[in-house]
Structure 1
Amino acid sequence: MDISVVVPLYNEAESLTELTAWIKRVMEAHHFSYEIVMVDDGSTDGSWRVIEELKRGNPYITAIKFRRNYGKSAALNVGFAAAQGNVVITMDADLQDSPDEIPGLYSKIVDEGFDLVSGWKKLRHDPPSKTIPTKLFNSVTRGMSGIHNLHDFNCGLKAYKKEVVKSIEVYGEMHRYIPVIAKWAGFKRIGEQVVQHYPRKYGKTKFGPGRFVKGFLDLLSIFFVGKFGKRPMHFFGTMGVTSFLAGFIIAVWLIVEKLTSIAHGTPYRNITEQPLFFFALIAIVIGTQLFLTGFVAELVSRNSTERNDYQIERVI
């Protein structure tokens, strides 16, 4: 099978008929073998009834329904598991992503050899309350991830090699950072394509300001797990030893200063009367705690069933 189109959705009953018909036209025009994997994330507006009706008329539709709303990341993760195509395309169900972009995205994966291609909605039809924070988060993500060639990490329209979606796990609000997850999994050929963005035609946006807080926390989680997940002592141990040594050096310096003053008979203050003493004490305590945290995390990591779960590209 050439293409799997994964469509996560929540309360998008009005747009589903038009979307699936549009996808079908594009696929037939380019002679792609395909499937549409629709994941209903606990919709309450009758979306599932629409999907059941569409499936009766289109055998290429596969549908999965959650009992309740888990979020877009969960829907994508389940959709990725179900996808069978050699190239997996994701798009939102609100008709703001154009199926006409599918051939171009497919070509960049198959013909140009990219592992992942993210859409860039260069001209967006969203209010400033959504576009300005998005630009800020994209800038932060580029800096932290080192993926400097992407302008829009959160664009729902993306294309993946099958190997990518079968090698990553998406949860929380991490759908925003799939290119980062893919990079940490070893897929380095990540590209971008400018795509058309349409105004919302039906329903209302599911976007909320609280998602930025969750998204930023998930970015920190991705950064830590991806970089130190299999060697936590390198993170906690380095900070712990640095803090402990700083406190220890200051404490030794204070003691030597006092002994020198006694030897020369000059006035001196008690060590406990100096603010540096308490700074040194706190640094030593924090350093010890961080080191022990790293030690415990290392034990947990070494006993994990996934401690030697690595992504292997080829075997010859």
Structure 2
Amino acid sequence: MDISVVVPLFNEEESLPELTAWIDRVMQANNFSYEVWLIDDGSTDNSWKVITELRAKNANLKAVKFQRNYGKSPALFVGFKRVSGEVVITMDADLQDSPDEIPELYRMIKEDGFDLVSGWKQKRHDPIGKTLPSKFFNAVTRKVSGIHLHDFNCGLKSYRLNVVKSIEVYGDMHRHMPLLAKWAGFKNIGEKVVEHHARKYGYSKFGLSRLITGFLDLMSLMFVGKFGKRPMHLFGTLGTIVFLVGFFSILYIGGTKLYALANHMPKQLVTENPWFYISLTSMVLGTILFNTGFLAELVARSSADRNSYLIETVLEG
């Protein structure tokens, strides 16, 4: 199979008929063999009814329905587990992403040799309350990750199949797919300017809160990527440094006390020196950090059900 398209959706009953027909026209025009995975993230409207009706007319459509709303990352995770196309395309269901971009995104993977190609919505049709936080988030992510993309959060992306099979998407990590791919060893990451349409139906499901959660997810991902399998390297190093600062401070205080006694200088209790308590605190904190490193080594990335989601129905085959 040439292409698998993964479309996470939540309450998009109006756009689904137009979107799936548009995708089918593009695939037929380019003679692509394809499948479309529609991942219903617990919609409360008639999205699932529309999906079942569309599937009856088009066998290339496949679908998963969550029992409740989990979010975009879980939807992508479940979709990635099921895809089989040589190239995997992700797009949003609100018709703001154009299926006409699919042939070029496919070519950039197959012919240009990219592992991942991220869309860049150079001209956006979103309110300023959505575009300004996005610009700030992208600037921070570029600086922290070292990946020079303009639009990390664009839903329109293409992947080589082994990329999506090698990365684990959870929480809200869909915003950081290029970084996840980079940590997995896929460094040939490209970018393509894509057309962005104004929303035709419904309303945006994202608010300003994603600026904060996106930043926290980025920090979490950077930590997990660097120290997820070796947390002792972080906590052990910090603990050792803090402990040694306290230990040598105690030695210095003790040495000055012995010097004062040997030279019959005026007596001063060690406990009257505030640095004594600072040094003791440093030693205690260093020991705690060191022990935290040991415990973190035992539990690092060991949650067996982190990506366990309740699925109500699956339509395939």
Number of the residue aligned with 1:31: 31
Contact conserved, 2:87 with 2:106, CA < 8 A, in 1?
A: yes
Number of the residue aligned with 2:135: 135
Contact conserved, 1:72 with 1:175, CA < 8 A, in 2?
A: yes
How far apart are 1:130 and its partner, in Å?
1.3
Q: Distance in 2 between matches of 1:22 and 1:267?
A: 90
Change (3 A) 1:217 1:303: closer
Out of 295-304 and 243-252, give the one that drifted further: 295-304
The answer to which structure, 1 or 2, has the higher relative contact order (CA under 8 A, 6+ apart) is: 2
Change (3 A) 1:299 1:280: same
Number of the residue aligned with 2:41: 41
Change (3 A) 1:216 1:52: same
Q: How does 1:255-294 map to 2 (within 5 A)?
A: 255-267=254-266, 269-294=268-293
- Structure 1 runs of 4+ aligned residues shifted over 6 Å read 302-305
Q: Distance in 2 between matches of 1:201 and 1:121?
A: 17
Please state if 1:53 is matched with 2:53. Answer: yes
- List gaps (5 residues or longer) in structure 2: 305-317
Q: Secondary structure at the match of 1:261?
A: helix
Q: Distance in 2 between matches of 1:80 and 1:254?
A: 60
Question: Residues 148-191 of structure 1: CA distance to partner in whole angstroms, max 9, x if unpaired?
Answer: x2111111000000001111111111111111111111111111
AA aligned opposite 1:236: F
Number of the residue aligned with 1:309: none
AA aligned opposite 2:119: G
Q: Distance in 1 between matches of 2:261 and 2:62?
A: 84
Number of the residue aligned with 1:64: 64
Contact conserved, 1:13 with 1:50, CA < 8 A, in 2?
A: yes
Please state if 1:117 is matched with 2:117. Answer: yes
Number of the residue aligned with 1:80: 80
Number of the residue aligned with 2:312: none
Number of the residue aligned with 1:10: 10
Contact conserved, 1:106 with 1:159, CA < 8 A, in 2?
A: yes
Q: Secondary structure at the match of 1:14?
A: coil
Change (3 A) 1:191 1:276: same
Q: Secondary structure at the match of 1:5?
A: strand
Change (3 A) 1:289 1:303: same
AA aligned opposite 1:265: H
Q: Distance in 2 between matches of 1:157 and 1:32?
A: 18
AA aligned opposite 1:165: V
Question: Residues 43-74 of structure 1: CA distance to partner in whole angstroms, max 9, x if unpaired?
Answer: 11101111111111111101111111010001
How far apart are 1:133 and its partner, in Å?
1.4
Change (3 A) 1:134 1:242: same
Q: Secondary structure at the match of 1:212?
A: helix
How far apart are 1:142 and its partner, in Å?
1.7
Contact conserved, 1:246 with 1:283, CA < 8 A, in 2?
A: yes
Q: Distance in 2 between matches of 1:45 and 1:222?
A: 34
How far apart are 1:304 and its partner, in Å?
9.2
Change (3 A) 1:91 1:268: farther
Q: Secondary structure at the match of 1:63?
A: strand
How far apart are 1:227 and its partner, in Å?
1.1
Q: Secondary structure at the match of 1:13?
A: coil
Out of 231-240 and 212-221, give the one that drifted further: 212-221
Number of the residue aligned with 1:207: 206
Contact conserved, 2:228 with 2:301, CA < 8 A, in 1?
A: no
How far apart are 1:106 and its partner, in Å?
0.7
Out of 138-147 and 288-297, give the one that drifted further: 138-147
**Aligned-pair identity (%):** 63
- List gaps (5 residues or longer) in structure 1: 306-316
Contact conserved, 2:116 with 2:160, CA < 8 A, in 1?
A: yes
Q: Distance in 1 between matches of 2:174 and 2:120?
A: 15
Q: Distance in 1 between matches of 2:13 and 2:267?
A: 79
Q: Distance in 2 between matches of 1:183 and 1:201?
A: 34
Change (3 A) 1:135 1:82: same
AA aligned opposite 2:129: S
RMSD value, Cα? 1.7
How far apart are 1:217 and its partner, in Å?
2.4
Contact conserved, 1:41 with 1:69, CA < 8 A, in 2?
A: yes
